[in-house]
Amino acid sequence: MEDVVVIGAGLSGLTAAGQLHQRGYRVRVVDKSRGLGGRVATRRLATTSLDHGCRYLQPFADPALSPIPALLASGILQPWQPETFALEANGSIRATATATLYAAPQGMSAVAKALAAGLTIHRHWRATALTPMPQGWHIEGEGLGSDSQSEISALEARAVVVAIPAPQAAALVAATAQPHDAISDLVQQLQTVAFDPVITVMAGYSPQTSPWLSQQTAPGGWMVTGDAHPTLGWIALDSSKRPAAKAAEPKESVVVLHSSAEFAAQAIDRPDLESVGQDLLAIAAKPLAPWLSSPEWMQVHRWRYGFVRQPLGVSVLSSPAWPTFVGCGDWCPGGQVEGAIASGHQAAKLIAQALV
Ligand SMILES: Cc1cc2nc3c(=O)[nH]c(=O)nc-3n(C[C@H](O)[C@H](O)[C@H](O)COP(=O)(O)OP(=O)(O)OC[C@H]3O[C@@H](n4cnc5c(N)ncnc54)[C@H](O)[C@@H]3O)c2cc1C
């Protein structure tokens, strides 16, 4: 039996696991994906990488919780200074002040890898049900890979941290073998949380294409936010975050585009994702730059649980009936990566108190 099983290797789960590991607990992290980091996600391509989830980090409101200074010192993060614009609802563009942004030249998933150092992580294993036992928790799951760990059908632990998006946590908690009032209470709380979906387009352009926007005043990186736009949420020259694979060679330009929540809600289940991606690039090309609609290659990803629209409003999900259960993630306090990390810290604190 482990001391703690952490379900979910996103930044909240890795933070909780790291804190508990540092306090001397035996911790095992499980994640259904092959990679680490959840929505802090990097796709590896033949000659480059791109961030199709979290784009950058910004200075934390609470510097005590911020991993940014350590990540800068180790070279994992570097300042990213694109020229920034806002795309208005009517398609007009205006330059905006540049915020302080930090990106990872190797891809943002390097942030997750740094937080995961020293932890025992069981990947490609999806937790399917969670049942309280007199001395802890029984966690059923299924292996999704072909390694020997994938054959494990259940884990047991004195405490459990559920660090997965609230709708998935609700399904996991509801699938218990022992219905209990506290379970219904947790599920009810989880059901108050709402997420917005996002459709992400990744597109590559030949080194011969000039990757500038019509509005740009200086060559280099650019980023456009579309907070008021009905279709486009955000678009940027992702390749400006990283150096060329071979310094002497001209660099392929890579653009990453995130749709608005409104657009994604309508298109998330469309089977023709390729044409959804082409539509989004064509919509971006009109106000920004004609070359955007003619990529050499394109990939599309759907995030069913992209951004938190309605958080739980507290730092973690907990139940007085079960001090050894804690739910954490950005969906608890809101606030994206900073919220996820703050929630992971609080989860570790509560579990450590419950295990003394
Ligand atoms: C497109 C996009 C862009 C973003 N850009 C930014 C940004 O620029 N800056 C910023 O601060 N934030 C950004 N965010 C938000 C940020 O990525 C999240 O707030 C943060 O990564 C959430 O971390 P988390 O640990 O709470 O959840 P997640 O990252 O969602 O981690 C949950 C993990 O649980 C795993 N999992 C789920 N179900 C199970 C199961 N049953 N069993 C095992 N494992 C399971 C998943 O595979 C995943 O790895 C962005 C998000 C998206 C989608």
Question: Are 157 and 253 in a shared domain?
Answer: no
Q: 102 vs 134, which has greater pLDDT?
A: 102
* pLDDT (average), residues 88-92: 92
In a domain, 321, yes or no: yes
- Residues 185-213, mean pLDDT to the nearest whole number: 95
Per-residue pLDDT, 354: 97
Same domain, yes or no: 327 and 347: yes
Q: What percent of the chain has pLDDT over 70?
A: 98
157: three-class secondary structure by DSSP: strand
Domain range for 262 is 56-106+195-308
**Can you tell me the mean pLDDT for 328-348?**
98
Q: Are residues 289 and 251 in the same domain?
A: yes
Instruction: Say if CB 262 and CB 122 are below 8 A apart.
Output: no
Helix (H) or strand (E) holding 202: strand 194-205
Residue 51 forms part of a structural domain: no
Same-domain status, 219 and 304: yes
- Mean pLDDT computed over 317-339: 96
Q: Which atom of ligand 1 is nearest to the CA of 13?
A: 25
Secondary structure string (H, E, C) spanning 247-297:
CCCCCCEEEEEEECHHHHHHHCCCCCHHHHHHHHHHHHHHHHCHHHHCCCE
Q: Mean pLDDT, the chain, as a whole number?
A: 94
Residues 204, 290, single domain; the answer is: yes
- 261 pLDDT above the threshold of 80: yes
Question: Is residue 47 assigned to a domain?
Answer: no
Minimum CA distance residue for ligand 1 atom 7: 54
Q: For residue range 38-85, what is the model confidence (pLDDT) as tens digits?
A: 999 999 988 889 999 999 999 999 999 999 999 999 999 999 999 999
Residue 145 pLDDT class (50, 70, 90 cuts): confident
**CA 54 / ligand 1 centre spacing (Å):** 8
Strand stretches in 12-74, DSSP E: 27-31, 42-44, 49-51
Total domains, the chain: 2
Query: In testing the pocket of ligand 1, which one of 164, 308, 317, 338 has its CB within 8 Å of the most ligand atoms?
Result: 164
pLDDT the model gives residue 245? 63
Q: Which of the four pLDDT bands, split at 50, 70 and 90, describes residue 98?
A: confident
Nearest CA to ligand 1 atom 4: 54
Q: What confidence score (pLDDT) does residue 210 get? A: 87
User: Residue 95 in contact with residue 84, Cβ under 8 Å?
Assistant: yes
Same domain, 91 and 189: no
Pair (257, 283) in one structural domain: yes
Are residue 335 and residue 200 in the same domain, yes or no?
Answer: no
Q: Of ligand 1's atoms, which has the minimum distance to the CA of residue 141?
A: 42
CA–CA dist 192, 183 (Å, integer): 15
CATH of the domain at 146: 3.50.50.60
Report yes or no on 294 lying in a domain.
Answer: yes
Q: In this structure, are residues 330 and 305 in contact, taking their beta carbons and an 8 Å threshold? A: no
Which residue has its alpha carbon closest to ligand 1 atom 44?
Answer: 31
What global pTM score does this model have?
0.97
Contacts with 110 (C-beta within 8 Å, 6 or more apart), sequence order: 42, 76, 104
In a mutational test of the pocket of ligand 1, which residue from 5, 39, 130, 190 has the highest number of ligand atoms less than 8 Å from its CB? 39
Ligand 1 atom showing the smallest separation from residue 14 Cα: 25
Ligand 1 atom at minimal distance to the Cα of residue 337: 11
Q: What is the pLDDT of residue 328?
A: 98
Mapped onto helix, strand or coil, the DSSP state of residue 11 is helix
Distant-in-sequence, close-in-space partners of 333: CB < 8 Å, separation ≥ 6: 311, 312, 313, 314, 315, 339, 342, 343
Of ligand 1's atoms, which has the minimum distance to the CA of residue 128? Answer: 41
Residue 250 CA to residue 313 CA, distance in Å, equals 48
Residue 285's pLDDT is what?
97
What band does 246 get if pLDDT is binned at 50, 70 and 90? low
- For residue 80, list its beta bridge partners: 101
Pocket-forming residues, ligand 1, beta carbon under 6 Å? 7-13, 30-33, 38-40, 53-57, 126-127, 163-165, 168, 172, 198, 200, 258, 303, 306-307, 329-330, 336-337, 340
Beta carbons of 198 and 264 less than 8 angstroms apart: yes
